[in-house]
C-alpha cells in the first residue's frame, strides 16, 4: 500500500506566448486545473502579468528566452497568432508547441488561409491575390466591380482593409497599401456566426461548441448571442460539421475559432484563428465548459469537455470608454463582468466584456 503521506502531485506547466486578455483568461482556467503557467512576452504590465507570477519578459525572437520557456514547460501555446514565424519554428523543434508553427503561420497570411479553407473542401469568400494596381483593376473586374482590399498580414478588427470599387483611383488606393494584399468580393449574407472547435494532439478527441451569432460595429465584434437564435438545427449541425472538417484538415492541436457568413446558398467561411476567440467568451457563463479551459485541456493533451449550452447567453464587448461605466453591469442580476486590467483606454480597444444570462431567450430586437 502506498503511504499517502509521501504522495505528491507532479507539476505540469503550460507556456503562454503573449500577454493579452486571452492569455490572462487561459491562465486562470489553467490554475483551476492545478496547472502552472509561464508567460513570455515583451510588454510591460500586460493583462497576463497581473495574474501570473512566472513571467519571462523578452522579445519573441530572443532565442535564449525561448530555450528557457521550453525547459520550464510541458506544452507551449499562444494567445494571439501574430508572433514571428521564426520564433514559432524554433519552438516547434521541441515538440511542445501547440498549435504547430505551420498551422499558425498559415493563418498569419490571408491568402494561405483562404487556400487552406479551399483544400478542406469548404467555401471561402471569393478572392484574388493582389500585388499591384494592375492586379487590383483585374480583380475588381472579376469580382463585380467592388470588394474589400485587405493586407495579407497583420490585419484585425477592421485594420488593414478598405472597401473599394472600380470608380476609385486604384493607383492611389494601391499606393496607400503597397504591400501584398487580397481583394475579397462582397458576400450577400443574412448574418454572421462562428464555431469554436478543440482537438487534442493526434486527433484523439475533437469537440465543437455550438454555432453562435455575432454582431459587429465598425468591423469590431460588439456582441455574441449563444446559441445562434436565427439558426435552425440543420444549419447549426452543418456549421459544426464544417468546423470539424477544417480542424481535421489542418491537423489542429488546440483551439480554432471559425467565422462564417450565413447566406441563402449556404455557409461561407470568413476567417479563422488558432486560439481562443472573442465570440467564445459567452461560454464562461453559458456553457458546460468554457473555451479557455477547453483550450488548456487540448494543448495539455487532457480529456476535452463536452461543450453544451446550459443557458442562452449574450456577450457584450466593452470597447474603449464603455469600460469606464462598468459598475452599472454589477447592478444587473444576470450579468457577469470581466475586465482585463488594461490601464490605457483607447477608442475601439477591448477593455472587457459582460456575459448576460438570458434564460427566456433573446429579445428579437
One DSSP character per residue, 169-216 reads -HHHHHHHH-S-EEEEEP---SEEEEEEEEE-GGGS-EEEPPPEEEEE
Say if 90 falls within a structural domain: yes
What percentage of the chain carries pLDDT values higher than 90?
84
Task: Say how many C-beta atoms besides its own lie within 10 A of residue 318's C-beta.
Answer: 21
Residue 164 sits at φ, ψ, to 5 deg, of -135, 165
Please give the average per-residue pLDDT across 78-89, as a whole number.
96
Is pLDDT above 90 for 158? no
Over residues 284-316, the pLDDT tens digits come to 999 999 999 999 999 999 999 999 999 999 999
Residue 24, all three cell numbers:
490572462
Residues 310 and 332 placed together within one structural domain of the fold: yes
Is pLDDT above 70 for 1? no
Q: How confident is the model at residue 2 (pLDDT cuts 50, 70, 90)?
A: low
Q: Are 300 and 254 in contact (CB under 8 A)?
A: no
Say if 27 falls within a structural domain: yes
What percentage of the chain carries pLDDT values higher than 70?
96
Three-state SS for 297-336 is HHHCCCCCCCCCECCCEEEEEEEHHHHHHCHHHHCCCCEE
The predicted structure's pLDDT at residue 246: 98
Task: Say how many C-beta atoms besides its own lie within 10 A of residue 257's C-beta.
Answer: 21
Say if 105 falls within a structural domain: no
Is pLDDT above 70 for 67? yes
Q: How confident is the model at residue 9 (pLDDT cuts 50, 70, 90)?
A: confident
The predicted structure's pLDDT at residue 248: 97
d(CA 151, CA 328): 39
Please give the average per-residue pLDDT across 43-71, as a whole number.
97
DSSP 50: G
Say if 115 falls within a structural domain: no
Say if 118 falls within a structural domain: no
The predicted structure's pLDDT at residue 364: 63
Residue 180 structural domain: 126-185
- What kind and span of H or E run contains 257? strand 254-263
Please give the average per-residue pLDDT across 162-173, as a whole number.
85
Q: Which CATH number does the domain housing residue 161 bear? A: 3.30.1490.20
Residues 351 and 203 placed together within one structural domain of the fold: yes
pTM of the shown model: 0.93
Residue 106 C-alpha from the chain's centroid: 14
Q: Which of 7, 37, 5, 3 is nearest to 296 (CA)?
A: 37
The predicted structure's pLDDT at residue 128: 95
Is pLDDT above 60 for 28? yes
Q: Are 13 and 72 in contact (CB under 8 A)?
A: yes
Cis peptide before 37 (omega within 30 of 0): no
Residue 358, all three cell numbers:
438570458
3-state secondary structure of 355: strand
Tally the domains of the chain.
3
Residue 117 sits at φ, ψ, to 5 deg, of -60, -45
Q: How confident is the model at residue 7 (pLDDT cuts 50, 70, 90)?
A: confident
Residues 77 and 131 placed together within one structural domain of the fold: no
Write the CA distances from 362 to 31, 220, 239, 252, 311, integer angstroms.
33, 21, 21, 33, 11
The predicted structure's pLDDT at residue 5: 61
Q: What is the end-to-end Cα distance of the chain in Å, rounded?
A: 64
Over residues 343-352, the pLDDT tens digits come to 999 998 999 9
3-state secondary structure of 46: coil
Domain end position, chosen among 185, 200, 233: 185
d(CA 16, CA 333): 34
Is pLDDT above 70 for 4? no
Is pLDDT above 70 for 336? yes
d(CA 174, CA 185): 17
Domain end position, chosen among 55, 79, 97: 97
Over residues 192-249, the pLDDT tens digits come to 999 999 999 999 899 999 999 999 998 899 999 999 999 999 999 999 999 999 999 9
Please give the average per-residue pLDDT across 249-266, as a whole number.
97
The predicted structure's pLDDT at residue 8: 74
Residues 232 and 350 placed together within one structural domain of the fold: yes
Per-residue burial over 147-164, b if 16 or more Cβ lie within 10 Å, else e, is: bbbbbbeebebeebbeeb
> Which stretch of 53-62, 83-92, 160-169, 192-201 has the lowest confidence by average pLDDT?
160-169
Residues 88 and 139 placed together within one structural domain of the fold: no
Q: Name 170's Cβ contacts closer than 8 Å, sequence gap at least 6.
A: 133, 136, 137, 140, 164
The predicted structure's pLDDT at residue 156: 63
Please give the average per-residue pLDDT across 131-145, as a whole number.
91
Average pLDDT over the chain reads: 94
Residues 23 and 66 placed together within one structural domain of the fold: yes
- What kind and span of H or E run contains 13? strand 13-17
Residues 160 and 288 placed together within one structural domain of the fold: no
Is pLDDT above 80 for 154? no
The more confidently predicted of residues 2 and 321 is 321
Is pLDDT above 60 for 94? yes
Question: Side-chain half-sphere of 187: how many Cα atoms within 13 Å?
Answer: 22
Residues 229 and 173 placed together within one structural domain of the fold: no
Task: Say how many C-beta atoms besides its own lie within 10 A of residue 95's C-beta.
Answer: 12
The more confidently predicted of residues 160 and 249 is 249
Amino acid at each position: 500500500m502506498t503511504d499517502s503521506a509521501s504522495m505528491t502531485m507532479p507539476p505540469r506547466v503550460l507556456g503562454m506566448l503573449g500577454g493579452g486578455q486571452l492569455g490572462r483568461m487561459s491562465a486562470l482556467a489553467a490554475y483551476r486545473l492545478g496547472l502552472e503557467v509561464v508567460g513570455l512576452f515583451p510588454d510591460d504590465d500586460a493583462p497576463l502579468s497581473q495574474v501570473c507570477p512566472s513571467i519571462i519578459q523578452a522579445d519573441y525572437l530572443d532565442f535564449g528566452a525561448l530555450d528557457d520557456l521550453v525547459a520550464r514547460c510541458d506544452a507551449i501555446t499562444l494567445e494571439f497568432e501574430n508572433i514571428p514565424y521564426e520564433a514559432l519554428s524554433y519552438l516547434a523543434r521541441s515538440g511542445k508547441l501547440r498549435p504547430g508553427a505551420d498551422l499558425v503561420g498559415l493563418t498569419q497570411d490571408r491568402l494561405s488561409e483562404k487556400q487552406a479553407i479551399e483544400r478542406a473542401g469548404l467555401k471561402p469568400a471569393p478572392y484574388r491575390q493582389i500585388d499591384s494596381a494592375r492586379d487590383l483593376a483585374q480583380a475588381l473586374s472579376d469580382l463585380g466591380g467592388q470588394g474589400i482590399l485587405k493586407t495579407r498580414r497583420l490585419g484585425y478588427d477592421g485594420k488593414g482593409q478598405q472597401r473599394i470599387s472600380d470608380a476609385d483611383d486604384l493607383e492611389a488606393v494601391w499606393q496607400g497599401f503597397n504591400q501584398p494584399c487580397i481583394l475579397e468580393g462582397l458576400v450577400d449574407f443574412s448574418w454572421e456566426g462562428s464555431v469554436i472547435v478543440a482537438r487534442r494532439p493526434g486527433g484523439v478527441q475533437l469537440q465543437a461548441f455550438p454555432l453562435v451569432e455575432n454582431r459587429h460595429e465598425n468591423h469590431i465584434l460588439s456582441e455574441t448571442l449563444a446559441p445562434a437564435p436565427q439558426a435552425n438545427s440543420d444549419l447549426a449541425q452543418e456549421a459544426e460539421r464544417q468546423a470539424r472538417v477544417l480542424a481535421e484538415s489542418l491537423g489542429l492541436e488546440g483551439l480554432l475559432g471559425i467565422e462564417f457568413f450565413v447566406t441563402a446558398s449556404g455557409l461561407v467561411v470568413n476567417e479563422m484563428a488558432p486560439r481562443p476567440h472573442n465570440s467564445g467568451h459567452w461560454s464562461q457563463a453559458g456553457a458546460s465548459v468554457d473555451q479557455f479551459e477547453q483550450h488548456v485541456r487540448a494543448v495539455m493533451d487532457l480529456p476535452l469537455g463536452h461543450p453544451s449550452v446550459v443557458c442562452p447567453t449574450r456577450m457584450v464587448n466593452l470597447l474603449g470608454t464603455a469600460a469606464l461605466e462598468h459598475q452599472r453591469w454589477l447592478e444587473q442580476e444576470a450579468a457577469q463582468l470581466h475586465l482585463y486590467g488594461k490601464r490605457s483606454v483607447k477608442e475601439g480597444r477591448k477593455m472587457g466584456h459582460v456575459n448576460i444570462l438570458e434564460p427566456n431567450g433573446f429579445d428579437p430586437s
